[in-house]
Chains A and B, each alone.
Chain A
Amino acid sequence: MAKAATSDSGTTASGPARDSSDQAGGDNFELRSLQDSFESEKRYTASQDELIGFYKQMLLIRRFEEKAGQLYGLGLIGGFCHLYIGQEAVAVGLQSALQEGKDSVITGYRDHGHMLAYGIDPKVIMAELTGRQAGISHGKGGSMHMFSTEHAFYGGHGIVGAQVSLGAGLAFAHKYRDDGGICLAYFGDGAANQGQVYESFNMASLWQLPIVFVVENNQYAMGTSVKRSSAETEFYRRGTAFRIPGIAVNGMDVLEVRRAAEVAFAHVREGNGPVLLELNTYRYRGHSMSDPAKYRTREEVQGVRETSDPIERAKAELAGMGVDEETLKQIDKDIRAAVAEAADFAEKSPEPDASELYTDVLVESY
């Protein structure tokens, strides 16, 4: 990985963390107030069942995305297709700490991995990728534009950074209705340089909106490395000017991600305003399917795969807990079968009916 998640020493000019009155709203704002609490206990203690659950979800995303890449290669998926391979622990770890039916989620165009983590049926996601009637958007959205209001998953947005302001709007709605929900708004290290991100930071902090901003730092904005695009590469510090505390997290370890989620979500739920999480992660594939990824070496990618893979890590831990090889093999087999079924469904479902062309442009008739 391009940098360690905990490269910062943990000290600030003003000393160690103070009590909660010194957080976002107070006079002595401390960027690292939450980081310190996170550092004190960095990994979530998962039961064997919980870890198996995380493992299954991550593996489902990995296998699904591999299959999507394959279907793209076969010409069944068109346009752009951004795979989530390598980043699985981020969505799975954060999602696991959300409260279903209460919280909302929004992300950018690299969205299929996220949708699987929220329990959305792989069949309707794959059918959207192949542009079929049975797809979650009836084939009218495609890989970058998927939504499931039923799961409070608000997209799936193709314009880099737009989801950050929209997410602040979802958080605004939570606060306005006083429904106790929070919004989880994901964006990448590339989007982190968009102006509207900071406009949203400002208002979210000013109005103490219940939102967790998540930078999924996969080290490359398309082909431009973080170092070549960003004056401040420690993204968790980027909320400082707006009094938003940040936490840097190793996004390749699902248990560390889960623990960071608990620290951040608790802070936001208590009405303290936004938190900025930086999840350091890595995508193994190109930015999209048509990216030859010549901006990094094969060795760099292979190195991350071999030393930091989130799925291999969870697998090793499960083995350590005494889960036998046979059980893990069976999980893989079941997931491969589910993905094959989704692909088959997506390939066989008919294209949208011609009448779909003019539906859903407007809700009402005028």
Chain B
Amino acid sequence: MAIELKMPALSPTMEEGTLARWLVKEGDEVSSGTVLAEIETDKATMEFESIDDGTVGKILVAEGTENVAVGTVIALLAAEGEDVSAITAPSVPAEAPGEGKEVGRAPDQSEITRKAAQERPKKRDPEIPAGTNMVTVTLREALRDAMAEEMRRDDRVFVMGEEVAEYQGAYKVTQGLLDEFGPKRVIDTPITEYGFAGIGTGAAMGGLRPVVEFMTFNFAMQAIDHIINSAAKTNYMSGGQMRCPVVFRGPNGAASRVGAQHSQNYGPWYASVPGLIVIAPYDASDAKGLLKAAIRSEDPVVFLENELLYGRNFELAQLDDHVLPIGKARIMREGSDVTIVSYSIGVGLALEAAEKLAEEGIDAEVLDLRTLRPLDKEAVLESLAKTNRVVVAEEGWPTCSIASEIIAICMEDGFDHLDAPVVRVCNEDVPLPYAANLEAMALIDSDRIVAAAKKVCYRD
């Protein structure tokens, strides 16, 4: 049986080409690797090699022929031991496999539906038992305790990053961990974000549970390829084989007078990536409970902290194992007139704004998103249904922000509940300036949130 040589596709987009020149003639012996012809694609002239040994029987498409469709039989090859003279052109053009052929595609693509929201498990924060002792801790201590508790619980957990061990943490978040767990599990890295993010990701793929600290998330831009291309996408690309239970954590957003390169909120960047979990807590209880959940998660987590909150004191319930559900927002203050949606440091400003609004007779609800991906859409819509007015407060740029996303959710799924357009209060759309006055002008504050809330209540 003669071997059919078909017009090859020589680029991802090629559908037809010109058979520029035959380099063999009928009767020639060829072997694997012999160049048979030159074929012009839309991009280049390519050599077409034989992969079989044999003798050229019939050339079916003459050189110089243009617009030869991919898959057309262009020549026949007699295999070793076959009679060349017996080869004739097929009477019916051979069907090109893959070209319009049934390959098992489902007939109706509309069958594809997203996992419905109702399929998601309803997880709530665990009840705090009556009589539980409340203690005052800083956010920094809560984060440290979360790591220490998880390291005691699971010896696969380790912490790596710049100055996390001997220096006790650039912002003292890892204070005391080296003393308790030793240098095997608390590892100082060189200043080499791309490299150690890759090593942390690889260690997670290899079965460990790394907590990778970035001194700030601004420096993680050097490492973002591993966070997104390696950590977030590999489970999907491997059909579910490759787990990557890594936590990338560190301060995010504006600090104080450190200029544009050290003052950016990456929440919206990471929250746009399927395959990542993105958490941005405000208070110590959420920081501790969610960091513990992040370390236990089988998925890669970006955990965004805030430098200005590290030293702030919060009340924390003294529980043996305080773990909170990922993907659930939290109502920080109940109200009925307007919902202020926020996360991270913005929550503190929103609560401040709510107090000021109360003085003016406006009862504001404050919703802390806590997790930015997967976003708790239901909580946003429930609160909207209750207050019918939404303001989003975000310490970050306005364009393509979490605020933009909340507005889209309200438009798409909550339009009938809206009594006013949703308003966002974000930083000014400029790189963060250094000068104290300009910096203050560029950042959000509670007065701007108050003004926005009054606007959506038509009280301005």
Chain A contact residues, CB within 8 Å of chain B: 66-67, 69-70, 72-76, 78-80, 104, 106, 132-133, 135-142, 145-149, 154-159, 162, 164-174, 176-177, 195-196, 199-200, 202-203, 206, 284, 289-290, 292-294, 298, 305, 347, 349-351, 353-355, 357-366
Q: Is the CB of A354 within 8 A of B195?
A: no
**What total of chain B residues lie within 8 Å of the partner, measured CB to CB?**
81
Question: Is B104 within 8 A of A350, CB to CB?
Answer: yes
A203 and B195 contact, CB distance less than 8 A: yes
With A141-B239, A169-B205 already in contact, the answer to whether A196 and B198 are too (CB < 8 A) is yes
B385 interface residue (CB < 8 Å to A):
no
CA of A260 to CA of B186 in the docked complex: distance in angstroms?
A: 35
* Chain A CB within 8 A of B10 CB: yes
- A165's partner among B46, B194, B277 (CB-CB below 8 A) is B194
- Beta-carbon contact of A290 and B112 below 8 Å: no
Decide yes or no: A203 and B240 within 8 Å by CB, A290-B10, A353-B106, A362-B299 being known contacts: no
**Nearest CB of chain B from residue A295's CB, rounded to whole Å:** 12
When A74-B6, A74-B98, A166-B205 are in contact, do A362 and B194 touch as well, CB less than 8 Å?
no
CB proximity of B363 to chain A, nearest CB, Å:
31
Q: Could you tell me the dominant secondary structure of chain B's interface residues? A: loop
Q: Is the CB of B201 within 8 A of A166?
A: yes
- Interface-centre pick from A78, A284, A353, A360 (highest chain B CB count, 10 A): A360
Chain B residues with CB below 8 A from A173, complex form: 202-203, 206-208
**Least CB distance, B37 to chain A, in whole angstroms:** 12
Does B274 lie at the interface of the complex (its beta carbon under 8 Å from any beta carbon of A)?
yes
Q: Are A74 and B120 in contact (CB under 8 A)?
A: no
Interfacial chain B residues near A364, Cβ < 8 Å: 297-299
Do A199 and B45 have beta carbons less than 8 Å apart?
A: no
Is there an interface contact between A76 and B239, defined as CB atoms closer than 8 Å?
Answer: no
Residues of B within 8 A of A142 (CB): 237
Residues in B whose Cβ lies below 8 Å from that of A206? 190
Q: Which residue of B lies closest to A178 (CB)?
A: B184
In-complex Cβ contact of A73 among B6, B201, B204 (8 A)? B6
Q: How far is the CA of A116 from the CA of B229 in the complex (A)?
A: 25
Please state if B195 and A202 are interface contacts (CB–CB under 8 Å). yes
Hey, which chain A residues are within 8 Å of B51, CB to CB? 66-67, 69-70
CB distance from A111 to the nearest CB of B (A): 12
Q: Are B198 and A165 in contact (CB under 8 A)?
A: yes
CA distance A335 to B238 in the complex (A): 27
Q: Give the complex CA separation of A74 and B7 in angstroms.
A: 8
Interface-centre pick from B45, B96, B190, B198 (highest chain A CB count, 10 A): B198
> Which residue from chain A places its CB closest to the CB of B228 in the assembled complex?
A159
Interfacial chain A residues near B206, Cβ < 8 Å: 104, 154, 169-170, 172-174
The answer to whether A200 and B12 touch across the interface, beta carbons within 8 angstroms, is no
